[in-house]
């Protein structure tokens, strides 16, 4: 069943912005930058994961960390908008949370992989905008993963291998950004958000009322 995004105050339909990239390409930084710009008013969808929590992460803020049994229960109960196995762990987006954000008339930001992006797009094709972030080089990707130093060497090797596979999915996305300069990439991201928020299907409701008043104007 296709879920409907509600019209925002002022008549705009809510936007579901999906950012994907291999780990280390800068997506987490871009997500943080977007959320920090309060006037943009994005609300992050917080995923469920069976992955172990990293020391820098907090439960309920970066993810809801749950075990496999709980994950399977929620998936089988139909509570997930999408779910996927990534790097040997399960990840999923709780449906209720997204519906709450959209019903508050706000836009939702997702940090999910290409499998999740495909599932959300199938369910809500009119409301989804997808962006893929590429690293400037594989060498730089490895360096970023090593600088993060939160994962073991084995995990880093596994993530690099997966990165090659994930990068191959770039053509599934609406936009592709090559992140060789975080500020420039962020500017491009802002340009995408601004333009997408102005697209006719998203503003049609508000514009209809405006045009009715415009044409009723006595000149």
> Nearer Cβ to ligand 5GP, position 141 or 203?
141
Choices 71-79, 109-117, 190-198, 202-210 (CB under 6 A): range interacting with ligand 5GP = 109-117
Cβ at position 21, least distance to ligand 5GP in Å: 7
**115 contributes a contact to ligand 5GP by CB under 6 A:** yes
> Nearer Cβ to ligand 5GP, position 67 or 209?
67
> Phi and psi of 101, rounded to 5°?
-60, -45
Query: Looking at 101, 113, 132, 203, which residue binds ligand 5GP (CB under 6 A)?
Result: 113
Locate tokens 């500020």: which residue? 183
Cβ at position 41, least distance to ligand 5GP in Å: 22
Contacts of 60 (CB under 8 A, 6+ apart): 46
Q: Which two tokens stand for residue 49?
A: 């994961």
List the interface residues with ligand 5GP, window 146-175 (CB under 6 A).
none
**127 contributes a contact to ligand 5GP by CB under 6 A:** no
Task: Return d(Cα 85, Cα 97) in angstroms, integer.
Answer: 20
**94 contributes a contact to ligand 5GP by CB under 6 A:** no
Q: Are 172 and 128 in contact (CB under 8 A)?
A: no
**14 contributes a contact to ligand 5GP by CB under 6 A:** no
> Nearer Cβ to ligand 5GP, position 82 or 107?
82
Cβ at position 25, least distance to ligand 5GP in Å: 9
**71 contributes a contact to ligand 5GP by CB under 6 A:** no
Query: Looking at 17, 30, 84, 134, which residue binds ligand 5GP (CB under 6 A)?
Result: 84
Choices 34-42, 67-75, 113-121, 178-186 (CB under 6 A): range interacting with ligand 5GP = 113-121
Q: Which residues bind ligand 5GP (CB under 6 A)?
A: 20, 23, 47, 51, 82, 84, 86-87, 91-93, 111-113, 115-116
């Amino acid at each position: 069943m296709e879920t409907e995004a509600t019209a925002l105050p002022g008549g705009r339909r809510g936007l579901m912005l999906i950012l994907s990239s291999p780990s280390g390409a800068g997506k987490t930084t871009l997500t943080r930058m977007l959320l920090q710009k309060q006037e943009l008013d994005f609300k992050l969808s917080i995923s469920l994961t069976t992955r172990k929590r990293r020391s820098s992460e907090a439960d309920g803020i970066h993810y809801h960390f749950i075990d496999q049994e709980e994950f399977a229960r929620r998936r089988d109960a139909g509570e997930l908008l999408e779910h996927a196995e990534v790097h040997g762990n399960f990840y999923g987006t709780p449906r209720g949370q997204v519906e709450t954000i959209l019903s508050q008339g706000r836009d939702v930001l997702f940090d999910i992989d290409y499998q999740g992006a495909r599932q959300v797009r199938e369910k809500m094709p009119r409301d989804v905008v997808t962006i893929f972030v590429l690293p400037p080089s594989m060498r730089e990707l490895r360096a970023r993963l090593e600088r993060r130093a939160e994962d073991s060497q084995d995990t880093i090797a596994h993530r690099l291998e997966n990165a090659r596979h994930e990068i191959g999915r770039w053509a599934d996305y609406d936009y592709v950004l090559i992140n060789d300069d975080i500020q420039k990439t962020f500017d491009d991201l802002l340009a995408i958000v601004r333009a997408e928020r102005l697209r006719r299907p998203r503003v049609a409701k508000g514009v209809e009322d405006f045009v009715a008043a415009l044409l009723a104007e006595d000149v």
